[in-house]
Amino acid sequence: MVTSRSTAAARPEGVSPRRRGPVLERAILEATLEQLGSVGWNGLTMEGVAVGAQTGKAAVYRRWPSKEDLVADALQAGLPALGEAPDRGSVREDLYALCLRVRDVMFSKPGQALRAVLHECDAESAGRFHDLIVAGVTEPSHQLFKDVLRQGIARGDVRADAIDDLVLDVIPAMMMYRSKVCGSEWPDREIADMIDRVMVPLLRVGAV
């Protein structure tokens, strides 16, 4: 006869017997984001995720047959929505508010996990996440910056021809470059400086 004492002894240390279904799945996805943020894509293992989620390795493999499948679901579940475009009365204030929001997403747990994927994956693995990144990050942020510029054009503080792909890429490109290459965490004053010295002169009526 198997007693509760013998069952507990047979259970791997640190494994919780109580969580099942969606609760366990959420724990595994959370552990995946934690692992990506701490050890990166190359260091992430299914075994490490299982330990972090306090479950058995079989429970992870039963739901996700590969590391790519697991990470894709973790990112999709964890990436926060950016919301609607701010409207604070001027393009300067709108861009500042939006950049703070983007900065907070970049340095959130899902944001750090996403950057690990972007910067460490080989071309074959990165292709697995392309549609997810476009739908969950690139297109929403691109649309928000475009909405901010449209508001500025309507108010008269942004030149009418300012909306093009090069202009829309300036802030995301600078934020990613400074974050990854220079190690900047983008404090508020640096975001304000970027907007005042780069974006406002670039966007204002009469700029060439």
Q: Is 140 exposed, middle or buried (0-12, 13-18, 19+ CB in 10 A)?
A: middle
Tell me which range, 10-19, 56-65, 113-122, 182-191, is most confidently predicted by mean pLDDT.
56-65
pLDDT band at 1 (very low <50, low <70, confident <90, very high): very low
pLDDT at position 19 is 63
Q: What region, left, alpha or beta, does residue 43 occupy, with left being phi > 0 and alpha being psi -120 to 50 degrees?
A: alpha
Q: How many CB atoms lie within 10 A of CB 188?
A: 11
Among residues 195, 206, 170, 194, the alpha carbon closest in space to that of 94 is found at: 195
Mean pLDDT of the chain: 86
DSSP string, 45-74: -HHHHHHHHTS-HHHHHHH-SSHHHHHHHH
For residue 194, count CB atoms less than 10 angstroms from its CB and return exposed for 0-12, middle for 13-18, buried for 19 or more: buried
**Quick check: 118 pLDDT over 60?**
yes
Q: What is the pLDDT of residues 19-67, one digit of tens each?
A: 678 999 999 999 999 999 889 999 999 999 999 999 999 999 999 999 9
* Phi, psi dihedrals of residue 206, rounded to the nearest 5°: 95, -10
Confidence at residue 18, expressed as pLDDT on a 0 to 100 scale: 59
pLDDT in tens, 56-65: 999 999 999 9
Query: What are the φ/ψ torsions at residue 162 (nearest 5 degrees)?
Result: -75, -20
pLDDT at 10 over 70: no
Note the pLDDT of residue 106: 84
- b/e map 2-37, b = 16+ CB within 10 Å: eeeeeeeeeeeeeeeeebeeeebbebbbbbbbbbbb
Residue whose C-alpha is closest to residue 112's, from 88, 151, 80 = 80
